[in-house]
Structure 1
């Protein structure tokens, strides 16, 4: 009887040992990474030599890496190849994600797409990462994007730009031959360590004076962000490259500006003391049309609140302003919703430069031919 008892105890101990061992092995297997094999993996394993080891892990991992490299090599060919394969379908993907800290591979792609589809309506989102504004970001890369997205007189034909401006004041027969509206705006900055007095504007605030030209759709077509706050708007325009292009007749049309600019054949300003009748109608149509640039500057500052005060050096502030102008144009092109706009009443410039004689002749001709009953 004692023999059977000891035999039963031995079997029970062996059973407990086997259960404990099974539980330990199961827990170890649960801690390991689970591997799943697709149908393609199993077919791939079946098609190779059957002398391979039974463990599929290393084999399949190596095959996946090799297949990914082969697929990458086969699909390489650049944006022109991809656009050619798409045929007549929209050339833009749903999302374009570009880290502009290393944009060499994206510049040509964006340039081609800007020419192929100006409106960019087929794209859901064009995202530029914030590394664009880091101090180590070279200015040359920002200038490349500037040449793509900020063009004068614009991406559209000149005739279409003039028609859009003409429709603004159509109730007064419209303002003819306008290719852009110009104005200056001050971006406050901290007091620089060098040449501090040059950056103090007429409000006794340190700032960068920025020249903005826009079209009727609030797209900024030209930006000059390099002048200290003490420089007057008229000097910025006179020394700009765009002024020389207009004077040489490269662009058919003229700009609209306020009384802070002298009246020129290429830059029309309102009458300082209009007489009742055609001159008053001229000034009203001029004011309604030129208001687009004030709205554009308000949209730019409302979309990027940091432009109300930049705590950087003047050189870095100029790069940031240009970068935000490019981002503003991208937002307009992609159809982003306008932010809440609060336009402040423009402050009269105490300095009114004298008008040019030929500028007054052009202004009187427009007033007589368009706004006379």
Structure 2
């Protein structure tokens, strides 16, 4: 059912969810403070999440300091070990901060010379993946404390973030929600993944879908 909703919206096949990371601003510790300063210059804790077509979180992973890149958070999360067990025709969508794999599709790197097929793929990919950005926006709208989590007990901060995600799911599954009334956070990370280091199977799968979308 989830695959069909994603496909109906943008024509992108096999999507089971969208993954991304967002920063939760915190006061920052007095020790090792630099490790919590993100690329925008403020201390934060990272939340990585996967959502479905209804903006419900399917997987959440919180606790890494703000300076850590999305790709490193992904490599260390339990989901990255489970994902290869998906059927080869199913996948998550992530932005260019994530590594391309058979079950995690990212956009073609825009070097200024993308083909029409690659541009079409990236547009459909972005239109489908936007759900996770909408989910983060709704989460921070419903739980405004996450816009600045004034806590100093670092070990407890991830528990609060995950609890908010659980309540977010409860609200969506039990109440109607107008998710058009919030601003999406700007947490896009700089590209890191290098297509040259990925498997030929993943590259072939992405190209096959790109051709199908034309």
Give the TM-score taking structure 1 as reference length: 0.53
Aligned to 2:131: 292
Residues 49, 60 of structure 2: 8 Å contact kept:
yes
Q: What SS does structure 2 have at the residue aligned with 1:307?
A: helix
Residue 333 of structure 1: CA displacement?
Answer: 0.1
In the alignment, structure 1 segments of 5+ residues that lack a partner are 1-159
Higher helix residue share: 1
Q: How does 1:1-373 map to 2 (within 5 A)?
A: 160-169=1-10, 174-249=11-86, 253-273=90-110, 275-312=114-151, 313-338=153-178, 340-344=181-185, 346=186, 348-355=188-195, 356-358=198-200, 359-368=202-211, 370-372=212-214
How far apart are the structure 2 equivalents of 1:295 and 1:354?
27
Number of aligned positions between the proteins? 207
Aligned residue in 2 for 1:110: none
CA deviation vs aligned residue, 1:179-225 (integer Å, no higher than 9, x gap): 11000000001121333222111112110011011000010110001
How large is the RMSD of aligned CA atoms in angstroms? 1.8
Tell me which stretches of 4 or more aligned residues in structure 1 moved more than 3 Å: 248-252
Q: CA deviation at 1:343?
A: 2.0
Higher strand fraction (1 or 2): 2
Uncovered stretches (5+) of structure 2, i.e. residues with no partner = none
> TM-score, with normalisation over the residues of structure 2?
0.89
Kept in 2: contact 1:254–1:267 (CA 8 A): yes
| Rg (Cα) greater in structure | 1
Q: Output the CA distance in 2 between the equivalents of 1:270 and 1:207.
A: 27
Query: For 2:205 and 2:88, how far apart are their aligned partners in 1?
Result: 16
